[in-house]
A and B are shown apart, each in its own frame.
Chain A
């Protein structure tokens, strides 16, 4: 080999370190953080709402239903702004299809939500950027396929995008040693359980006042959201509401499905995904 050779081995001429399918630069990180703050405000709005003292009935902020898609789109535009590599795009498309298929497998069974475990594993292997986008596209594509497009869709998209993002941010090394094998699975199971409950809580919190209605001033005492009441008091009501309606069934079901799927299929699927990543040479995998 001479100096004139065109050397395109992964890593040649590039700074060392893992190369992700969809790199998140510093600016993208800022955009992600800002969008997450704004998104979080729209999820936990019942806890932040301070009503106008003079007004009677408070309306839920329907405008957020229109603004949340804007937030999601801004992040997607930012993450793909540099142009997306063909391999990453094809991988994203394929994984989206698999996720959508998994989601339709679980549809109809209470709490069996199969969409998250592959999202978590893919986020882990391909990094936070692809994890975020995959979370969005998976929910969107499956909504198109199962006519699940509704006002709730942007909320679901952002929430699962966070799950994919978080999975990509989990530590890759502990004390200088790569995190692999059983410890890795244990970590992912822990994350999967957490993700299941957080997803349930956030979705419930944002929809609570829509489902139960907003309490009319002077007639509190039910589980409904009371605008302007102290945060802890509302949180208490919400806690009971979510415990009664979701935690026992949906959320726990989701957590169990996640952990079972990660324990049983995780090692094989991680190996498969890592092999694909290596073949597409996104990442040096040891």
Chain B
């Protein structure tokens, strides 16, 4: 007899898994300007969002990101035409050249429009749009509150501040409404400078008074109980953070300067990030808090994150081996390779291989 199969119960994936997946797709998109690959990446992101998002407000924002992506692409093409600088041989439109006045020496507007320069702008714009849409996908799939709740312990305070801000936000809107209404009771026609002050000051006073009461309640409920770390450990944390930052400083500079030794570029950046990460862990050790119902990493979450990493790695491999596929020449139709296609299509795996999110389990609406 085999083991009983346990059904896949609906649950929300770890928000971190969605972010790693989406950032992997974004990283892949940033390595290529091949329009086919970019279109596939956007499709992969969209399909996944449509099949795994909930009906929460943040989940409905995905179409804003799609619109923004479209806008970026159009902007790039328009700028290409407007700012001229056309190259290539396939002339589409011969616009008059408009030289700018002396202070902008050497820069001209408009001029001949070539298919190559339009396509180059289009490809480039599509790359940025794809990166934006991938981040938008993460934003739609990952519950921001759960994300804040699963921040590493070292970021606990900042995370709490944001949680407080998010809970307070709707109350502020009510407070503003109440004060605006009350303002008229003092015979205020509601115009001018005084009017603004009469709204802002009471709302702010209210909010600040509230902050003191909140602090007392947090203090009385044990916030900040975590003991101090011994001085030695704190020094270790400091040393890790500082050296990590030094690595990032040197690395980012060397990354930009192609004439600097290559050993200062990527190795420094990676080393810096690793040291800083170690610093996070060390700083988090002072925190002895626990989490109520923490999000756990299970097979589906690991699979999702791994998919994102795999897409990024494979596209990087493609970019190194087949530059003509990764960065196609606008003069010729963009080429494709099997590996490149497999790499980007792999990203759609989480759309089918993960459990459905909880809030999708509502009864089907009657037809």
Known: A78-B241, A81-B234, A83-B224. A222 touches B107 (CB 8 A): yes
Query: A33: nearest residue on chain B (CB-CB)?
Result: B245
Assess the A74–B245 pair: CB atoms within 8 A. Answer: yes
User: Would you call the interface of chain A mostly helix, strand, loop, or mixed?
Assistant: helix
In chain A between 75 and 128, which residues have their CB closer than 8 angstroms to a CB of chain B? 76-78, 80-87, 89-98, 100-101
Minimum CB distance partner of A58 in chain B: B258
- Assess the B223–A86 pair: CB atoms within 8 A: yes
Task: Give the chain B neighbours of A198 by CB distance below 8 A.
Answer: none
Which one of B117, B211, B327 has the greatest number of beta carbons of chain A within 10 Å? B211
Looking at A62, A94, A236, A265, the one whose CB has the most chain B CB atoms below 10 A away is: A94
Our pick among B86, B218, B226, B237 for the contact of A90 (Cβ within 8 Å) is: B218
Which residue of chain B has the shortest Cβ distance to A50 in the bound complex?
B257
Assuming A70-B273, A83-B157, A224-B85, is B215 touching A89 (CB within 8 A)? yes
Q: Once the chains bind, are B215 and A90 in contact (CB under 8 Å)?
A: yes
In the bound complex, what is the Cα–Cα distance between A12 and B56 (angstroms)?
50
Is A193 interfacial (CB 8 A cutoff)?
no
A73 to B244, CA, bound (A): 12
- Cβ-defined contact, B161 with A92, below 8 A: yes
Q: Which of B4-12, B58-66, B290-298 contacts A (4 or more CB under 8 A)?
A: B58-66
B93 within 8 Å of A by Cβ?
Answer: no
Q: Which of B259-273 contact A (CB under 8 A)?
A: 259-260, 269, 273
Specify which chain A residues have a CB less than 8 angstroms from the CB of B345 in the assembled complex. none
- A245 (CB) vs chain B CBs: closest residue: B79
B124 an interface residue at 8 Å Cβ cutoff?
A: yes
Interface residues of B: mostly helix, strand, loop or mixed? helix
A210 to B131, CA, bound (A): 11
The 0/1 profile, CB within 8 Å of B marked 1, for residues 44-76 of chain A is 010011111101010101111111001101101
- Residue in B closest to A240 when the chains form the complex, CB atoms: B104
* A139, B129: Cα distance in complex, Å: 22
Chain A contributes a number of interface residues (CB within 8 A of B) equal to 91
Query: In the complex, which of the residues B84, B107, B132 contacts A150, with contact meaning CB atoms closer than 8 Å?
Result: B132
Whether B200 pairs with A269 at a CB distance below 8 angstroms is yes
Which residue of the partner chain, among A62, A223, A273, contacts B83 with CB atoms under 8 Å?
Answer: A223
A-side contacts of B242, CB under 8 Å: 27, 30-31, 34
User: What are the residues of chain B within 8 A of A140 when measuring CB–CB?
Assistant: 162
A–B pairs, 22, beta carbons within 8 Å: A34-B242, A38-B252, A53-B258, A57-B327, A61-B255, A61-B256, A65-B26, A74-B244, A77-B154, A87-B211, A89-B218, A93-B168, A94-B164, A98-B172, A133-B161, A151-B135, A224-B85, A269-B200, A269-B204, A272-B201, A276-B212, A279-B212
5 shortest interchain CB distances as A-B pairs: A93-B164, A222-B85, A62-B30, A147-B61, A96-B165
Residues of chain B having any CB pair with chain A under 8 Å: 23, 26-27, 30-31, 58, 61, 64-65, 68, 72, 75-76, 79-80, 83-87, 100, 103-108, 117, 120-121, 124-125, 128, 131-132, 135-136, 138-139, 144, 154-155, 157-158, 160-166, 168-169, 172-173, 176, 193, 196-197, 200-201, 203-205, 207-208, 210-212, 214-216, 218-219, 223-224, 226, 228, 234, 237-238, 241-242, 244-246, 248-249, 252-253, 255-260, 269, 273, 276, 279-280, 283, 286, 327
Residues of chain A touching chain B, judged by Cβ–Cβ distance below 8 Å, are 27, 30-31, 34-35, 37-38, 41-42, 45, 48-53, 55, 57, 59, 61-67, 70-71, 73-74, 76-78, 80-87, 89-98, 100-101, 133, 136-137, 140-141, 144-145, 147, 149-151, 210-216, 218-224, 236-237, 240, 264-265, 268-269, 272-273, 275-276, 279-280
